[in-house]
Chain A
Amino acid sequence: MKIRFKLNGREIEAEVEPNTLLLNLLREHLHLTGAKYGCGIGECGACTVLLDGEPILSCLTLAVEVDGREITTIEGLARDGELHPLQRAFLEEGAVQCGFCTPGMILTAKALLDENPNPSEEEIREYLKGNLCRCTGYVNIVKAVKRAAEEMAR
């Protein structure tokens, strides 16, 4: 089946099977390996991408279902070689350890800041609760989101 969608700002056309998962289309066919396979059943958030700006799980999304929509992956956040403030803040606050959860974590955090530019710690933890970090770096992750929020407010 032929599908067309916007991926990180560019129009894409792809040939997929009905049972192709969005995660596998991104990783295996389009070679965007930012989104990760963690659990495959909706519980870890490692495969999070933005669909029309909202975080969703690409491990539970059929590729055909994004026909005509817009997908943003972690590869699409930097602008002209400049990291997104969230990406910078994650590095500066040591919120990245093994990095496996980081793409999903940052994309979910981006949706949070787009909707609520100045979230409290509680709001950050609630919004990010579907993104598990097995290195358990939650304290620094919260700090990084706060720091990015402050920078983006400037």
Chain B
Amino acid sequence: MSMWINRIDTHILPINFQYHAPKTLEEALKLLAEYGDEAKILSGGTDLLVKMKQRLIEPRHIISLRNLTELRGIREVEGGIHIGAATKLREIERSQIIAERLPLLHEAVKAIGSIQIRNMGTIGGNLCNASPAADSAVALMALGAELHAQSIEGERIIPIENFFKGPGATALKPVELLTAIRIPPPPENYGWAFRKIGRTSLDIATVNAAVLLTLRGGRIDLCRIALGAVAPTPVRAVRAEEHLRGREPTPELIQEASELVVEDISPITDVRGTAEYRVEASKALVRDALNLSIERAGGGGR
């Protein structure tokens, strides 16, 4: 919580900007094409307004998504599950489809902030804000999500692995809008786990982790491990994944794999924890998440 180090009066929003509330997606894309660099998208505002109050960003134009109903909602489609970028976190948390098909995402979203934050905040905002600690990001990485971006030029699909470019930076061009998140149908009988350590239950993560795996003939088959708040972006623990694939999940193997996460992370020390703490926490979270995932995949955990 940055409340105690905030040196600026947050009573008001000390920035002047022009406010736009386009009625259609096309209109929104035109505004973005016109103002690009000088504009910021306003979705739920729970990240954007905090940053503007602290004058960390001072956009000249605000383009609100409030009227764009086409950017909202959750539905099953041929390529999996479609979530509109401006869908409220609370709607995802309450969705039957998500709870049944993607419990990993359900749990990650439930771990975000408070009821108020989830009533306001959106999944697209959680991703586009590009915090290394974003809770939905690790879950969506483990689920192999694809992100749909649109500009007046057309649409492009960005695998979530290629989306995050650094703290606050994404692969989106200034003229592009994130329109949807597409999650491929998860494999049969998969195991999953989401784990988060925060200083308080309201806080963003000190470390978070998500795992998705399947077993075949008693061996680990598909395996994705994602970690947050331990590198400039959410990351996949690729070395650990490789170590596990095709092998029998013995306690020794799980231990080895969780030690290997250090190969893919580069944590820093900040107000939420030291780098050393984050390394140890990452190993422990991954070990726990792997054990739980194996159990859920029917492999008898330990």
Contacts and interface: CB of A to CB of B under 8 A. Distances in A.
Given A41-B3, A43-B3, A61-B120, A111 B13 contact: no
Nearest to B18: A18
Given A42-B50, A54-B90, A37 B45 contact: no
A75 B57 CA distance: 35
A60 B115 contact: no
A108 B11 contact: no
Contacts, number: 95
B117 interface: yes
Interface in A32-62: 37, 39-45, 48, 51, 54-57, 59-62
A130 B116 contact: yes
Contact of B17 (A18, A61, A129): A18
Given A24-B11, A40-B53, A60-B46, A48 B17 contact: no
A52 B87 CA distance: 16
Contacts of A55: 115-116, 119
Contact of B119 (A18, A21, A54, A64): A54
Contacts of A54: 90, 119
A61 B184 CA distance: 34
A131 B202 CA distance: 10
A1 interface: yes
B129 interface: no
Nearest to B9: A40
Contact of A19 (B17, B116, B117): B17
Contact of B202 (A43, A60, A61): A43
Q: Which of A21, A39, A57, A108 has the most CB of B within 10 A?
A: A57
Contact of B117 (A21, A37, A62, A130): A130
Given A21-B13, A41-B6, A56 B19 contact: no
Contacts of B14: 19
A24 B53 CA distance: 14
Given A19-B15, A19-B16, A43-B3, A57 B116 contact: yes
A56 B119 CA distance: 6
Contacts of A151: none
Nearest to A39: B3
A48 to B, nearest CB: 6
A51 B6 CA distance: 27
A130 B90 contact: no
Interface in A49-95: 51, 54-57, 59-62, 64-65
A1 B62 CA distance: 14
B66 A59 contact: no
A45 B116 contact: yes
B170 interface: no
B160 interface: no
9 contacts: A39-B10, A41-B50, A43-B1, A43-B3, A48-B116, A60-B50, A62-B45, A65-B45, A131-B114
Interface of B: 1-3, 6, 9-19, 21, 42, 45-46, 49-50, 53-54, 62, 64, 66, 90, 113-117, 119-120, 201-202
Q: Which 3 A-B pairs have the closest CB atoms?
A: A130-B114, A40-B10, A18-B19
Given A19-B16, A39-B10, A65-B64, 20 more contacts: A18-B16, A19-B12, A40-B9, A40-B11, A41-B50, A42-B46, A42-B117, A44-B3, A48-B116, A54-B90, A55-B115, A55-B116, A57-B120, A61-B49, A62-B19, A62-B49, A64-B21, A65-B45, A129-B114, A129-B202
Interface of A: 1, 18-21, 24, 37, 39-45, 48, 51, 54-57, 59-62, 64-65, 108, 111, 127, 129-131
